[in-house]
């Protein structure tokens, strides 16, 4: 259905367009970011505009689109709010919808030979017929102890997972150009924040904890390499539910009250503080799982992202529980701001825009 409009030979990893809007479709909202390069000639990025449009609870399920029409309408509203002429977008799939595998192949192969070898390797690891998946690959780096070999990353997903997101964009009047993986997009934006660490975090073990509405995603990095990933079923919806139970409000009323701060004086002590303590315990558990699952015995820094990251004092509570220095992610901290972007509001929204920012960065990917 979409092959005439979009090349569904999945392009997870390669850059295809000179300019893109990054679009992150999460369980609770559609987040859109547009970046440009500063005119100063110093490779400084500039955030031109962004939008966050809430989604109803029944629009998404476990990262998949359930109500395509609702998601498409949400994307269209966000695009109109941004007041941009750009219609090319970069999208991403959840890690759970993508199979990735690193393989070692001889260096210097012709493209056709490399494609044949990748497909042959993929057929061994992917439990679906190749005609039911979208497959892509990228040469990552030379093998350190062999000049004749290179490391290749293979990424594959079921076609329907890709087609759903492409269809939502198409119905919104947008053109999907790149399909990425959420964890890769998040890492690309996250790396912009590491300049605040000594030596850019070199030789340090750094945990990125993205606290969404239903899932807390933990990714641990060492010198730019992802060494661990884990999802835990905990997120901001637990806080919304507690507000609903405590103050006899509907889910919609609770979510609105959570955002505008119009709650009784007892809210902080009776609801917010216990939630933060529970969240910190979940982070501590995730770190312990990391230690028992890998050879690492220490995490040097924790960065928190997602909508919950801006809860006042949460980073201090996590730092106290884990005994690890904890920061709030802001991938825009060193960027210029256009006059359409309000700095105060962006600081509040930035931790939730990590994936959308990483997708927007694909506009400047030279690969």
| Tens digits of residue pLDDT in 102-121 | 888 888 888 888 888 888 88
The pLDDT, as a whole number, for residue 364 is: 87
- Eight-class DSSP state of 162: H
Candidates 183, 212, 198; CA nearest to 97 is 183
The pLDDT, as a whole number, for residue 298 is: 96
The reply to whether 205 falls in a domain is: yes
Residue 2 predicted with pLDDT over 50: no
The pLDDT, as a whole number, for residue 120 is: 84
Do the strands 336-337 and 45-54 form a parallel or antiparallel pair, or are they unpaired? Answer: parallel
CATH classification of the domain holding 58:
3.30.420.40
Q: What proportion of the chain, given as a percentage, has pLDDT over 70?
A: 94
Residue 12 predicted with pLDDT over 80: no
Residue 225 predicted with pLDDT over 50: yes
The pLDDT, as a whole number, for residue 121 is: 80
- Helices H, strands E: what count in the chain? 11, 16
pTM attached to this predicted model: 0.89
The pLDDT, as a whole number, for residue 18 is: 59
| One domain for residues 47 and 68 | yes
What is d(CA 56, CA 214) in angstroms, rounded to the nearest whole number? 13
| One domain for residues 134 and 278 | no
| One domain for residues 154 and 52 | no
**Residues whose CB falls within 8 Å of the CB of residue 104, separated by 6 or more in sequence, listed in order:** 143, 149, 150, 151, 152
Q: Given pLDDT bands bounded at 50, 70 and 90, which one contains residue 8? A: very low
| One domain for residues 183 and 52 | yes
| One domain for residues 62 and 183 | yes
Question: Which residue range forms the structural domain that includes residue 168?
Answer: 21-96+159-190+335-364
Residue 171 predicted with pLDDT over 50: yes
The reply to whether 79 falls in a domain is: yes
| DSSP letter string, 263-296 | --TTHIIIIIHHHHHHHHHHHHHHHHHHHHHSS-
The pLDDT, as a whole number, for residue 138 is: 84
The beta-strand segments (E) located in 55-204 are: 60-61, 64-65, 88-93, 99-106, 133-143, 146-158, 175-181
The reply to whether 11 falls in a domain is: no
Residue 10 has a CB neighbour count (10 Å cut-off) of: 22
The reply to whether 6 falls in a domain is: no
Is-contact 351 304, C-beta < 8 A? yes
Q: Which residue has the higher pLDDT, 89 or 4?
A: 89
What is d(CA 146, CA 112) in angstroms, rounded to the nearest whole number? 23
| One domain for residues 44 and 118 | no
Residue 94 predicted with pLDDT over 80: yes
| One domain for residues 211 and 136 | no
Is-contact 95 181, C-beta < 8 A? yes
Is-contact 61 38, C-beta < 8 A? no
Residue 63 predicted with pLDDT over 80: yes
Condensed to tens digits (0 to 9), the pLDDT of residues 116-163 reads: 888 888 888 788 887 888 888 888 888 877 778 888 888 889 999 999
Last residue of a domain, one of 143, 158, 173: 158
| One domain for residues 282 and 176 | no
The reply to whether 108 falls in a domain is: yes
| One domain for residues 50 and 180 | yes
What is d(CA 177, CA 272) in angstroms, rounded to the nearest whole number? 41
Q: Which of 1-10, 104-113, 255-264, 274-283 has the lowest mean pLDDT?
A: 1-10
Residue 43 predicted with pLDDT over 80: no
The reply to whether 110 falls in a domain is: yes
- Into how many domains does the chain fold? 3
What is d(CA 250, CA 14) in angstroms, rounded to the nearest whole number? 44
The pLDDT, as a whole number, for residue 6 is: 40
CATH classification of the domain holding 142:
3.30.1490.300
Query: What does the mean pLDDT of the chain come to?
Result: 89
Mean pLDDT computed over 241-263: 86
The reply to whether 4 falls in a domain is: no
Residue 11 predicted with pLDDT over 80: no
51 beta partners: 32
Condensed to tens digits (0 to 9), the pLDDT of residues 71-82 reads: 999 999 999 999
Candidates 143, 144, 122; CA nearest to 133 is 122
Residue 333 predicted with pLDDT over 50: yes
**Residues whose CB falls within 8 Å of the CB of residue 345, separated by 6 or more in sequence, listed in order:** none
| One domain for residues 316 and 260 | yes
Q: Which residue has the higher pLDDT, 285 or 263?
A: 285
The reply to whether 8 falls in a domain is: no
Tokens describing residue 109 = 């192969």
| One domain for residues 82 and 152 | no
| One domain for residues 77 and 123 | no
């Amino acid at each position: 259905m979409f092959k005439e409009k979009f090349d569904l030979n999945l392009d997870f990893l390669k850059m295809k367009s000179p300019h893109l809007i990054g679009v992150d479709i999460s369980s609770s909202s559609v987040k859109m970011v547009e970046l440009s390069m500063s005119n100063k000639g110093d490779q400084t990025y500039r955030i031109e505009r962004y939008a966050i449009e809430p989604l109803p609870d029944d629009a998404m399920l476990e990262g998949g689109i359930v109500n395509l029409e609702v998601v498409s309408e949400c994307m269209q509203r966000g695009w109109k709010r941004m007041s941009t002429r750009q219609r090319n977008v970069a999208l991403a799939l959840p890690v759970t919808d993508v199979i990735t595998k690193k393989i070692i192949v001889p260096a210097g192969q012709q493209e056709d030979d490399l494609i044949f070898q990748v497909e042959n390797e993929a057929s061994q690891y992917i439990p679906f017929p190749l005609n039911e998946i979208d497959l892509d690959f990228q040469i990552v780096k030379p093998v350190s102890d062999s000049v004749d070999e290179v490391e290749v990353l293979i990424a594959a997903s079921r076609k329907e997972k890709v087609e759903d997101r492409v269809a939502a964009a198409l119905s919104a009047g947008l053109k999907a150009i790149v399909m990425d993986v959420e964890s890769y997009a998040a890492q690309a934006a996250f790396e912009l924040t590491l300049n605040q660490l000594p030596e850019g975090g070199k030789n340090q073990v750094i945990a990125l904890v993205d606290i969404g509405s239903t899932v807390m995603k933990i990714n641990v990095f060492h010198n730019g390499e992802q060494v661990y990933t884990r999802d835990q079923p905990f997120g901001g919806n637990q806080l919304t539910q507690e507000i609903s139970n405590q103050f006899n409000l509907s889910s919609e009323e609770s979510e609105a009250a959570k955002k505008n701060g119009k709650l009784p004086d007892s809210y902080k002590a009776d609801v917010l503080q216990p939630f933060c303590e529970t969240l910190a315990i979940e982070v501590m558990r995730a770190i312990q799982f990391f230690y028992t699952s890998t050879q690492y015995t220490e995490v040097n820094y924790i960065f928190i992202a997602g909508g919950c990251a801006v809860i006042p004092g949460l980073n201090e509570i996590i730092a106290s529980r884990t005994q690890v220095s904890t920061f709030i992610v802001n991938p825009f901290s060193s960027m210029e701001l256009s006059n359409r972007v309000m700095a105060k509001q962006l600081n509040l929204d930035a931790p939730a825009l990590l994936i959308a920012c990483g997708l927007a960065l694909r506009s400047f990917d030279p690969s």
